[in-house]
Amino acid sequence: MKRVLYWCALISSLAVLAMLLTLWIRTASVCDKAVFRHHHGHAALLDVTNWSIESSYLGVGFLRYRSVYVNRDEVRWRTNMLSDTKDGFRWRVYDHPQFNLSTYYIRAPRRFGFSYENSSRGTAEGTGGFGSRRVLLVPHWFLVALAAVFPSFGAARLARRWRSRRRARQGLCPRCGYDLRGAPGVCPECGAAAPLPAPSPTTTDDGAMMP
């Protein structure tokens, strides 16, 4: 069970890593954007919330953007606009990211590619209502490094296992590689209990079958 969980975690973290690398490479030419929109309201109020994740040359942006309109004309106009597209999840690809990026307009300072902005404002003159915006910008290198931690441990573990198997096959100490062919037993170099030569169904040097 533990083994199954380990392999599930390893495979899913490799998938995440591959996806992040793909997104990162794609930022050379396009911007990918996943948006989830939800709106509700009535004749005198419209409340629109967008959650989105943007991947662009600036990094990966996590956003929540909310606009509330209370002016009747504005509500009618915006509601008509929104009726063109359904609420829910959409994936968009933009060729000219700078015109379609919320992270592009972050005014907060950027440090090592990270930035965070939480701003509230009244919407444009006469529209009533308000808007609020939360943006977290995280650089691709950071997410890739994070996603690579677990697979690296997995790879190191695998490499260690291969190495000790190879050493045991060659009659060396599996831990330190000391030559134990002359003196099987406990490794005089590191004290590891050396395994007895692995019983294998293959023939020995003199052609006799091992017991």
User: Which residues contact Zn ion (rule: CB under 5 A)?
Assistant: 173, 175-176, 178, 187, 189-190, 192
Q: How far is the CB of 153 from Zn ion (least distance, A)?
A: 23
Q: At what angle do helices 140-169 and 2-26 cross, to 10 degrees?
A: 130
Q: What is the 3-state secondary structure (H, E, C) of 135-150?
A: EEEECHHHHHHHHHHH
The Cβ of residue 98 has, within 10 Å, a number of other Cβ atoms equal to 12
C-alpha of 192 from chain center: 39
CB closer to Zn ion out of 122 and 188: 188
H or E, element range at 85 = none
Task: Choose between 37 and 175: whose C-beta lies nearer to Zn ion.
Answer: 175
60 contact partners, CB below 8 Å, separation of at least 6:
23, 53, 54, 137, 138, 139, 140, 143
Shortest Å, Cβ 167 to Zn ion? 9
Residues 6+ apart with CB under 8 A from 65: 49, 50, 52, 102, 131, 132, 133, 134
Least distance to Zn ion from the beta carbon of 33, Å? Answer: 55
Is there a contact between 210 and 201 (Cβ–Cβ < 8 Å)?
Answer: yes
Q: How far apart are the first and last CA of the chain?
A: 34
Of the pair 94, 178, the CB lying nearest Zn ion is at 178
Residue 69's nearest CA partner among 132, 128, 133 is 128
Q: How far is the CB of 169 from Zn ion (least distance, A)?
A: 15
Cβ proximity to Zn ion: between 136 and 192 the closer is 192
CB 200 → Zn ion: shortest distance, Å?
Answer: 21
- Closest approach, Cβ 178 to Zn ion, in A, equals 4
